[in-house]
Amino acid sequence: MNHLIVYSHPNPQSFNKAILNTYQGALQGRGHTIQVRDLYAMDFDPVLSAEDLRMLHDGHIPPEIKAEQDLVRWADVMTLICPIWWGGFTANLRGYIDRVFSLGFAYEEGPAGPKGLLGGKKMVIINTMGAPYQVYERIGMIKSMGQVSDECISQFCGLTVMEHKYFGNVVGCSAEERQQMLQEVKALAESI
């Protein structure tokens, strides 16, 4: 299978990077082909500009967007890895979605309403959080984040969400707890 991993964290020593390395290694160990897009390392511009919109409207895809869309087309499975900041994806991952999942590529408008164009592809989302999972669940954030990322983004574009994995308390947990989380990441990759 072809896997596109879109990764977003500014610290190359972060726990999110350990998740990426574990996930990527487990997929490679099973013979999958992988492309990683490290948005910070790429210095990916997350701003959907007026020029981008004009070009897309005129049927000309800006080269930076086309390159990413080609990778999405190539992938059987797309995985997003990032922390949850202020109740959502990091700014550059959100901007990646704004720019890459454009009208005419990820969805189209029709008489019956919008239709996803990425059918047949799968989505995996792995998020870390500073507070314990139970805190986010109690205040309704897990439900809200799932509605936005799983339904309003992924399913809207025709992607089937295979798994949305949340890891809470990554700032305050022990080294042993982090190792357990990485084992869960490895098991997730091996289940694909």
Instruction: Write phi, then psi, for 76 (nearest 5 degrees).
Output: -90, -35
Q: pLDDT of 108-161, one tens digit each?
A: 998 988 999 999 999 999 999 999 999 999 999 999 999 999 999 999 999 999
Mean of pLDDT over the chain: 95
Backbone angles phi, psi at 29, to 5 degrees: -65, -20
In total, the chain counts a number of residues equal to 192
pLDDT of residue 59: 87
Question: What six digits make up the tokens of 89?
Answer: 């994806």
pLDDT in tens, 25-69: 999 999 999 999 999 999 999 999 999 999 988 989 999 999 999
Separation between Cα atoms, residue 182 and residue 187, nearest integer Å = 9
Cα 130 to Cα 15, 72, 108, 181: the distances in Å are 11, 30, 37, 14
Instruction: Give, in order, the Cα–Cα distances in Å from 108 to each of 57, 131, 147, 158, 161.
Output: 13, 38, 20, 11, 20
Question: Can you say whether residue 156 is alpha, beta or left, with left for phi > 0 and alpha for psi between -120 and 50 degrees?
Answer: alpha
